[in-house]
Structure 1
């Protein structure tokens, strides 16, 4: 036990050293940049052309990558939605976040990136899927630093792309759609989950219109727009109407493909998302805000296999092992692109970064003071090509608990995955060298017991709040 504590202490001291150094801001010279953070929902590492996708067309996001920096080792905060978004907004890993597996409001005491940017003179807006607290709770978006909010506040309501209403600044925003709600007899998402029997207004189209309005607002202040689309998540309540869950107004360019409907719909959803990105980028250029705006595009976790969608349709996980709800690479490694003309040189980077790094990075962009609560490290040096000034994470940590408990920790290229099975009173432990085995096919646990012991010690201390 003493040996395990010493091993953990070594990594912990290294981690604290990194956090102490990142508290010293090195803001970008000149005016504060606008920040547009675009988040897809359940978009896989392999769903975009710039990450190797050959069939689904994503020309606008691919152009974003060509003109910006594409990250090959960026990680979501968690393998499912709300915890991952909690990590993104508060700059914390799963050992410290309020939301770890199920949806509940974040706390008043949680410090969000929106609060920090607002205090630094930014106009702040969240459009799309919030999922960290409804009106009247401590997690309500407008109580967590956002001047403007529009979309879904609740995770389950966000399943339906044709809801009967959305929310705008705490008030219902009625739509022309008509829905049926889950009844008591199903015992699932009662009174919240729904499916549309009349489909007229597609929520993600509205998100784009509201985002355009937000950007076009005639203000002198810099802005932070958190644009959280729900594409390509499935509507898990589509069973109410015996329909698949990949809801989209039309098949688009895939209309004449000899594919099953869910496959055409899923591809159309991703290409539709791409068209939204194209509209926003054109707007920034038209308004002469392009050069003073950093645009980030990513996904909240790995791809799903729900609502009729299948990973093998288009290799959505990019040949990585696992998917959403797994802590293998396919569940947590996500596409990540950052573009800022004149500041970010186009190219690729294998710098290991994660969702909880966004908060300290945004603070550096705005010249704001980073809170002590963050577990993140600013990746601004990587964005600006200052590799010699980029600090590294001694470890990354994830957890996800349902009927079984999943944990993962990465230190350097080594990653340990631990799964506890309470019903069987058993545990599995796997160790991978991601530098040699990105697909996590070769379990090294038996060959490297000392490394397993080291990483397990760190994992257990974090899990237990030590």
Structure 2
């Protein structure tokens, strides 16, 4: 329901008929306010889904989202690593203006404005599961102090890379998982092991059931298929998963069986979520976003090239070439978004906050970098970005239209690519286009200028 205006008391002076009209209008608007579900995988590559060209790993439910919705081909993560990417997503501000631009410790201050606080203040029920990374226990950055009615999962991102943790968090309450290992010790009982991803899905589904009668925002920031670099469940590799499933008999290295099984398990649970929406008659009024926090990893003994995880793109996680930051984005909203549609609209994580605000009928903050892509979703004309910007340690990247500039280190020259002709960034043409290169350098400076 929409919040009652502060001047509601003035209406008591007018006729009952007018009051009834106002209340009916508010109810009608609330009925059209969509539920918003934002699913984000961890280290899933542009080429890891069937609908983006994957030939081996099975992702039928996510592929079905694309068949029933819109697939973006030029969507970018907030960053090439975890924490700053999530920070960008929640604030609508790119890394030229955020407090951090790498995986350093950071937590939200009290009173921060995020997509979650905006939706909560407007009357949405707000819930999240998975990896948080933006506020450890006993800080102002914990989810319950940043707009979440309910949070279940990991708070510290370092712990999130263990899929059999000793505990998870329900808001600020530590939930013990006694069957899981303690440090490097043997687990108490195989039968009592808890795979964290399965528990996250259970809590996400329960949040939908509990809040089905009012508009809700669910942030499902899963940890699959991130690696556990300390070694996995049974084989010693870093891709932890309870079983390899349909990939068990493949003549692949164990890490690749685990990697494929993790993605297919995630796909299964996307299907479970959609099935629940249908069962509760919520599908028509729910918009689902599916994406990844950055490009594919090459960790835990998994090799990017084994399944062609970055597709046609160069680079992977921790790079600012396309493979490190261009990610899948699929959006489904029955009856509103054209089924089986594709867009080449250039967008990024910092666009989600204004998009969510427009969906809810909220005025977004003025001092952000994002532009709502709701017009694109609805098949309407769309305002475009002049440029998109990223930085990571000494690396910098900027995209403006077809042009992409990349600097791989502070002392390295600026590289220039024409993505219309060279999507894989194979041919540096900076010396052939000095005017364009100079303009890109100036935009890089402006992208980091104080507000």
Partner of 1:438: 423
**CA distance change for structure 1 residues 196 and 439 in 2, over 3 Å: closer, same or farther?**
farther
Per-residue deviation, 1:62: 0.4
1:71 corresponding residue in structure 2: 72
Q: Using the alignment, how far apart are the partners of 2:189 and 2:408 within structure 1? A: 43
Instruction: Specify every segment of 5 or more residues in structure 1 that has no aligned partner in the other structure, as ranges.
Output: 1-27, 183-193
Matched, 1:86 2:87: yes
Report the CA distance between 1:198 and its aligned residue.
5.8
For 1:229-268, what aligned pairs fall within 5 Å after superposition? 229-238=222-231, 243-268=236-261
1:420-441 Cα offsets, whole Å, 9 max, x none, are 25xxxx2231100111110000
User: Is the Cα–Cα contact under 8 Å of residues 344 and 383 in structure 1 kept in the other structure?
Assistant: yes
Higher alpha-carbon deviation: 392-401 or 89-98: 89-98
Give the drift of 1:300.
Answer: 0.2
C-alpha separation between the residues in 2 aligned to 1:245 and 1:198?
A: 21
Contact in 2 for aligned 1:99/1:106 (Cα 8 Å): no
Matched, 1:397 2:386: no
Residues 221-266 of structure 1, C-alpha deviation per residue, up to 9 Å, x if partnerless? 2000000100000012228998211000000110111111101110
2:360 equivalent to 1:366: yes
Aligned match for 2:435, one of 437, 450, 458: 450
Q: Within 1, Cα distance between the matches of 2:201 and 2:50?
A: 22
Residues of 2 paired with 1:288 and 1:242: CA distance? Answer: 43
Alpha-carbon shift at residue 45 of structure 1 (Å): 0.3
The TM-score, its normalising length taken from structure 2, stands at 0.90
Shift of 1:29: 9.2
1:196 CA displacement: 6.3
Instruction: Please give the alpha-carbon distance, in whole angstroms, between the structure 1 residues aligned to 2:323 and 2:273.
Output: 28
Residues 172-203 of structure 1: CA deviation (Å, up to 9, x unaligned): 01113333438xxxxxxxxxxx9968651000
* Contact 2:233–2:240 (8 Å) recurs in 1: no
The residue matched to 1:181 in structure 2 has which SS? coil
**Residue 152, structure 1, aligned to residue 146, structure 2:** no
The residue aligned with 2:414 is: 429
Distance 2:100 2:286 in 1: 30
Q: How does 1:107-118 map to 2 (within 5 A)?
A: 107-118=109-120
Residues 218/38 of structure 1: CA separation in 2 closer, same or farther (3 Å cut): closer
User: 1: CA distance between counterparts of 2:351 and 2:319?
Assistant: 21
* Alignment partner of 1:53 is 2:46: no
CA distance 1:297–1:74, shift in 2 (3 Å): same
How far apart, CA to CA, are the structure 1 residues paired with 2:33 and 2:438? 45
Contact 1:162–1:195 at 8 Å: present in 2 too? no
Q: Distance in 2 between matches of 1:311 and 1:63?
A: 25
| Alpha-carbon contact 1:83-1:94 (below 8 Å) kept | yes
Q: Distance in 2 between matches of 1:69 and 1:229?
A: 21
Please give the secondary structure, in 2, of the residue aligned with 1:166: strand
Q: Is the 8 A contact 2:135 2:143 kept in 1?
A: yes
Cα 1:352–1:283 change in 2 (3 A) is same
CA distance in 1, matches of 2:188, 2:292: 29
> What pairs with 1:174-253 in structure 2 (closer than 5 Å)?
174-181=176-183, 200-238=193-231, 243-253=236-246
Q: Is the 8 A contact 1:86 1:98 kept in 2?
A: no
Greater C-alpha radius of gyration: 2
Per-residue deviation, 1:152? 0.3
Distance 2:213 2:31 in 1: 15
Is the alpha carbon distance of 1:198 and 1:436 closer, same or farther for their aligned partners in structure 2, counting shifts above 3 Å?
farther
Cα pair 2:180 2:194 within 8 Å, conserved: no
The 8 Å contact of residues 97 and 448 in structure 2, kept in 1 or not, is answered as: no
Is the partner of 1:105 in helix, strand or coil? Answer: coil
- Corresponding position of 2:32: 31
Q: Deviations over 1:195-219 (max 9, x none)?
A: 9686510000001100110000155
Q: CA deviation at 1:35?
A: 0.3
C-alpha distance in 1, partners of 2:148/2:397? 32
- Give me the TM-score of the superposition, normalised by structure 1: 0.87
Match among 289, 297, 302 for residue 304 of structure 1: 297
- 2:402 alignment partner in structure 1: 413
Distance in 2, matches of 1:266 and 1:197, equals 26
